[in-house]
Chains A and B, each alone.
Chain A
Amino acid sequence: MINSVRNTVLSILNKNNYGYISPSDFNLFAKQAQMDIFEDYFYQYNYQINKENARQSGTGFADIKKQYEEVIDTFSLTNFLYHSNSNRFFVPNQLTTGDDYFLLNKVLVYTRLLASGTNNVLGVGTLQDTTTDFQSAGVQVGDIVGNTTTNKTAYVSNVTTTILTLVSIDGTSANIFTALNNGYVIYDDGVVTEAEKVTHSKITMLNNSILTAPSTMFPAYTQESTILSIFPVSINTVGAVQCQYIRYPKDPKWTYVNLFGGEPSFDQSQPDYQDFELPLEDEPTLILKILQYAGMSIREISAVQFAQATEQKNDMDEK
């Protein structure tokens, strides 16, 4: 989609041959435009819910809220959070989960610890501990294994007395124990509860409340900087806390090969190529938004005005 967007923008701008914008400028504008639209999805989603409450929305093909949900869900990820110390965990970020989050939608806590210890035999894609009987401990396929030394997690795909075979969420072999004497914890995947976000102004009182203090049945969390603190404080190991969140869209990048006849030629085989992550229906909006930035860039006010007017009209039509 990114090449089509760029071509359209250039076509509109290309009055008197002074409407050219460089690939790097285009990438900057594209990133801004995508972020604008991405954020707008949440406002639109809320607007549609309000319309539903006012009985001004339909079902089936007229269920606009569902469309918004589907787009937002394409940015949804579920990952285990890395443990920092005590009851503190890192929020999703590039270093831990590999992506930055826009919104923490749900924090899940696994509360039933089946076994813990250290591995004493190495094997690719396995956890081996000859001092523990995994079967007697109740470990089953699907349970969660956390490496407390490296903060990595995996799922159990096969159980024997002293060997667990591990896989990632996508079913591929997970080699999270690559050294001896790494600590591990195993949680029952069937005993899970949702932690509730609590503001800092309330958490102290909540912890002191005899009726509503956070418990393993009703855990709570607060957030500070890049750290998420889970209560009760007994929730304090990797593998215990999982997060479903909405990540930011990846920065779009229109990649090209060396100039050909004075024009960069689009090449999507470049390793840093990144298309827009928004659905095709957003192509006109992307074009109009980029056009506004590009119009400002080349001081072509009529291009900006055209894009603004068209975008406003589209918005009105979609209300």
Chain B
Amino acid sequence: MAYLTTYQYYENDGNLPLDANWGSYQYVSLQDIVNNFMLMYAGNHSLVNNEERYKILFHAKRAIQELNYDAFKEIKILELSVCDTLRYVLPHDYVNWVRISMYKDGILRPLTENIQTNWSKAYLQDNDCRILFDQDKNILEPKYSGIDYDRITGSKKSIYLNQGSPFNGMEGYYYDGLWYFDYEIGARFGLNTETANFNPTFKIDKKAGVINFSSGMSGQLCILEYVSDGMEGGDNSLITVNKLFEDYMYAYIEYSILNSKLGVQEYIINRARKRKGSLLRNAKIRLSNIHPGRLLMNMRGKDKWLK
């Protein structure tokens, strides 16, 4: 692929969308990776020879997937509204979440993952607790389990100090300069900081592909930060790799091929493995972008006095 002219970069040659090439110089395409590897690292006089291109493509994509899970730090962000089903369907390219926040009153409030479950599957049962089946011997299920129903209708209590807390809204009375509450004696000895959060909570049902929220999330905006595997819905033309990882990609492919090939000496495999490992470290350090200017504001935090 040829380099872009500045007009192509900024204006996409006048074609829509105009921003198609913005930031593209940071990346190298999958096609370039495979092409360069076949050209430079495979052949009659190379360690890798007579390997099918689809194997190179496979290892290249596997490397990109692995890098996307952590090293790339390519976080995708999706904002969706949570309606009264208290459900947020995971994005089509979702692999794992990084942070889930509620956007309210102009502030992003990070949500806490509930340490308990807030959803369940259920089977219909009779009075003797026997499970019920239909005429085709398929098990009968209710639309909502009890815990789901309570959560959606807002009657489920929460161990978190939010609006579902059993103590939320409890009235006290003010007498002689002091506040008094009708708590049961011995019921509350102190604050459990693990659950001391006012915001709604969530729990992810991975197989169902949804995030289930507590009732306080109804009608709120949810912002999901997540990682994907970089496969871009199977469109090879959109798959890219940060240039800082380009050399690592070649090393990974070479190692993977050599490692699975019969008759390759162990010292050659080890050499390839070490090269791959060191290049990954280098790329991670470069991508972390640690420099004094960035650290300055963080370091200023040390001057704050704790009270």
Contacts and interface: CB of A to CB of B under 8 A. Distances in A.
B237 interface: yes
A52 B237 CA distance: 37
Interface string A251-285: 00000000000000000000000000000000000
Contact of A211 (B31, B34, B61, B237): B61
Nearest to A199: B52
Interface stretch (A20-28, A32-40, A97-105, A212-220): A212-220
A215 B44 CA distance: 27
Interface string B14-36: 00000000000000001100100
Given A198-B52, A218-B236, A212 B31 contact: no
Contact of A218 (B44, B54, B62, B234): B54
B237 A217 contact: yes
Chain A CB within 10 Å, residue with most, of B34, B44, B58, B231: B44
A209 B59 CA distance: 13
A217 B30 CA distance: 10
Given A49-B44, A52-B45, A215 B236 contact: yes
Contacts of A217: 30-31, 236-237
A184 B210 CA distance: 49
Contacts of A208: none
A206 B58 CA distance: 11
B75 interface: no
B58 A196 contact: no
Contacts of A52: 44-45
B269 interface: no
A226 interface: no
B31 A198 contact: no
Contacts of A212: 54-55, 57-58, 61
A62 interface: no
B54 A198 contact: yes
Contacts of A53: 44-45
A218 B34 contact: yes
Interface in B201-241: 231, 234, 236-237
A95 interface: no
Contacts of B61: 211-212
A160 B61 CA distance: 43
B53 interface: yes
A218 B237 CA distance: 10
Interface in A190-239: 193, 196, 198, 206, 209-212, 215, 217-218, 220
A209 B52 CA distance: 15
Nearest to A205: B54
B16 to A, nearest CB: 15
B116 to A, nearest CB: 36
A281 B55 CA distance: 41
Contacts of B57: 211-212, 218
Nearest to B44: A49
B52 A210 contact: no
A210 B61 CA distance: 11
Interface in B227-274: 231, 234, 236-237
Interface in B35-93: 44-45, 52-55, 57-58, 61-62
A58 B121 CA distance: 74
B58 to A, nearest CB: 5
B52 A196 contact: yes
A218 B45 contact: no
A210 B54 contact: no
A220 B53 CA distance: 9
Interface string A160-199: 0000000000000000000000000000000001001010
Nearest to A213: B234
Contacts of B34: 218
Contacts of B54: 196, 198, 206, 209, 212, 218, 220
Interface of B: 30-31, 34, 44-45, 52-55, 57-58, 61-62, 231, 234, 236-237
Going nearest first, the 6 A-B pairs with the smallest beta carbon separation are: A217-B236, A212-B54, A196-B53, A211-B61, A212-B58, A49-B44
Given A52-B45, A218-B31, 14 more contacts: A53-B44, A196-B54, A198-B52, A198-B54, A211-B57, A211-B58, A211-B61, A211-B62, A212-B58, A212-B61, A215-B236, A217-B236, A217-B237, A218-B236
Interface of A: 49, 52-53, 193, 196, 198, 206, 209-212, 215, 217-218, 220
5 contacts: A52-B45, A196-B52, A212-B57, A217-B31, A218-B57
